[in-house]
């Protein structure tokens, strides 16, 4: 966490990004993986989600830095 950023605001911003992304990934990916064991399906889900988070979240944090620090 960056110094001066409010922890609860970081949590809220991260959740606001992750929730809709998961709601897009699941209906797109899960029908393609019908019959796969759940651990493999979630491995694929997190394999898409985590790299996306690594790219997008720092940009969101910079964009909302003023609000995060208030």
Tokens of 70: 């208030």
pLDDT, tens digit, 9 for 90 and up, residues 10-31: 999 999 999 999 999 999 999 9
Tell me, what's the pLDDT at 12?
Answer: 98
Contact 25, 42 (CB under 8 A): no
pLDDT-derived band at 1 (thresholds 50, 70, 90) equals low
Q: What pLDDT is attached to residue 38?
A: 96
| Mean pLDDT computed over every residue of the chain | 95
Q: Tokens 């990916």 correspond to what residue?
A: 29
Read off the DSSP letter of residue 5: -
Give me 43's structure tokens.
């491995």
Instruction: For residues 52 and 58, give the distance between their C-alpha atoms in angstroms, rounded to a whole number.
Output: 11
Q: Round the CA-based radius of gyration of the chain to a whole number and report it.
A: 15
In the predicted structure, residue 35 carries a pLDDT above the cut 80: yes
pLDDT band of 3, cuts 50, 70, 90: confident
């Amino acid at each position: 966490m960056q110094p001066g950023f409010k922890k609860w605001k970081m949590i809220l911003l991260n959740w606001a990004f992750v929730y809709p992304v998961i709601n897009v990934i699941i209906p797109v990916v899960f029908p393609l993986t019908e019959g796969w064991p759940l651990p493999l399906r979630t491995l694929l889900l997190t394999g898409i989600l985590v790299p996306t988070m690594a790219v997008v979240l720092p940009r969101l944090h910079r964009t909302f830095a003023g609000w995060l620090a208030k």
